Amino acid sequence: MTNQSRRQMLFRTGFGLGGLTLSSMMPGGGIFAASAASLVDPLAPKDPHFAAKAKSVIWLHMDGAPSTLDLFDYKPELIRLAGQEVPASFLQGIKTSTQGGVGKLYASNRSWKQYGQSGAWFSDLLPNIAQHADKIAFIKNSKTVGATHDISILKLNTGDVQPGRPSLGAWVAYALGAANPDLPGYVVLYDGNREPTGGSVNWSSGFLPAVYQGTAFRPGDSPIIDLEHPELVSDPQQREELNLLKALNDHRSALRPEDTELQARARSYELAYRMEKSAPEAIDLAKENDATKELYGLNDNATKGYGTNLLRARRLVERGVRFIQVVSGPVADTGGVDRNWDAHSALEKNHGAHTRKVDKPIAGLLQDLKDRGLLDTTLVVWTSEFGRTSYGQSGDGRDHNPWGYTQWLAGGGSKAGYTHGATDEIGLRSIGTGVDTYDLHATVLNLLGLDHLKVTYLRGGRRERPTVVYGDVVRELIA
């Protein structure tokens, strides 16, 4: 008998009794749900808990938090009271972070119109998305905790305000595996010249095995570093080198089965080898026709970067990628400084530039998914870390608002042409219970066929789940 520790023996014989218990919690159920294939390949496809309405998610994060008061949430009373002090009745129970009051009520110079049979309100900043009003399910009573970007973005993506938890995309990859073995199951796309706010912690696998973390594609024509096949190495030579590397890694992994970083690294070499052929084709837009490129705004410098990411997202959906996180990048202001949606001042200029950048590509994505028969099975989520207040200290901008703002869903089994909840008369706080980040995550998982209470991972004797402590599926948002 070879010399091995008790822990290693239990691992090699199916993780022991604790492993059998864990396998019974995995999607698909049953004591042997963690099949031999899934143990060898942690990204092997897994069955959902119940019939899924959506197969993929495109998660559109508007980095910096736009003012949905100036996009979707029409408030005549705010316009009427603009320039006045905020009535005390609206501030009850609200803690403000500013030192000298909250500033006067502010109304931007927007015109508003209702669209579609649903009669949804849109401002003139979003003329293209407005044409798809009847595809959208609005969540107008969104709420969160925290009022700083790093904390609230972390909560938006991971469900917690402390680093270390898996992102929603990582939970999806863990629960469902990868539908395409030649591409990552979870991809992150961003534009601009730097990583989004908070960086890679927002697509981390946290305490889940590292194989489930998001794969970030850089902006530009070569989004994956060093993907090209080495010129001086033949394909058989490369295959032999990988086989040797795999044998060495397997030997080391057998000695330290708890080292998920090593397992993930070993699998990444194999995935990278296959991606040499599959990934360039998946992100290459050369074969897209001129009409499609125009639909996404690729012929306009203002929309090209973001439109390229959305067109790539559609191509990745077609190729079975489960979760695509697209983060909107900054735009240059009149002084040449790159800024995201965080408009504490000069909101008109800021939001004018950002909506010009994203409006046409998002509308193009919705239309393209619809035309290709993909919208029914692709859930598009438009979201941000929080909203913006009805007031602002600067007089021409808005401050951070975690108490009430708008997010929306489209496709993937969501209820088209529907509005859920509302904010008060000046758009400052949600009326009633509100939809927290946990509820949004639970609803997205439900549309993917997953019960968020049953997507669990045993960590230090504690059964962890995506929604951390609480969370309810918003049934009204589901068709």
pLDDT by 10s per residue, the chain, length 479: 344 444 343 333 333 333 333 333 344 333 233 443 444 578 889 999 999 999 999 999 999 999 999 999 999 999 999 999 999 999 987 866 544 468 899 999 999 999 999 999 999 999 999 999 999 999 999 999 887 999 999 999 999 998 999 999 999 999 999 999 889 999 999 998 788 888 999 999 999 988 899 999 988 776 766 555 556 656 676 566 666 766 777 767 677 766 666 666 666 666 666 666 677 788 889 999 999 999 999 999 999 999 999 999 999 999 999 999 999 999 987 666 789 999 999 999 999 999 999 999 999 999 999 999 999 999 999 999 999 999 998 999 999 999 999 999 999 999 999 999 999 999 999 999 999 999 999 999 999 999 999 999 999 899 999 998 889 999 999 99
At residue 167, φ and ψ (nearest 5 deg) are -75, 165
pLDDT value of position 3: 44
Handedness of CA 19, 20, 21, 24 (dihedral sign): positive
pTM here is 0.86
Domain spanning 42-227+289-477: CATH superfamily: Alkaline Phosphatase, subunit A (3.40.720.10)
Q: 143, 203, 475: which is closest to 327 by C-alpha?
A: 203
Place of tokens 């402390």: 162
Residue 258 has what DSSP assignment? T
Residues 425, 399 contacting (CB under 8 angstroms): no
Question: Both tokens of residue 426?
Answer: 């000046």
Q: Name every residue whose Cβ is closer than 8 Å to that of residue 24 and which is 6 or more positions away in sequence.
A: 30, 31, 33
Q: In this structure, which amino acid lies at residue 335?
A: G
Q: Name every residue whose Cβ is closer than 8 Å to that of residue 267 and which is 6 or more positions away in sequence.
A: 41, 42, 43, 211
Q: Where in the chain is the domain with CATH 3.40.720.10?
A: 42-227+289-477
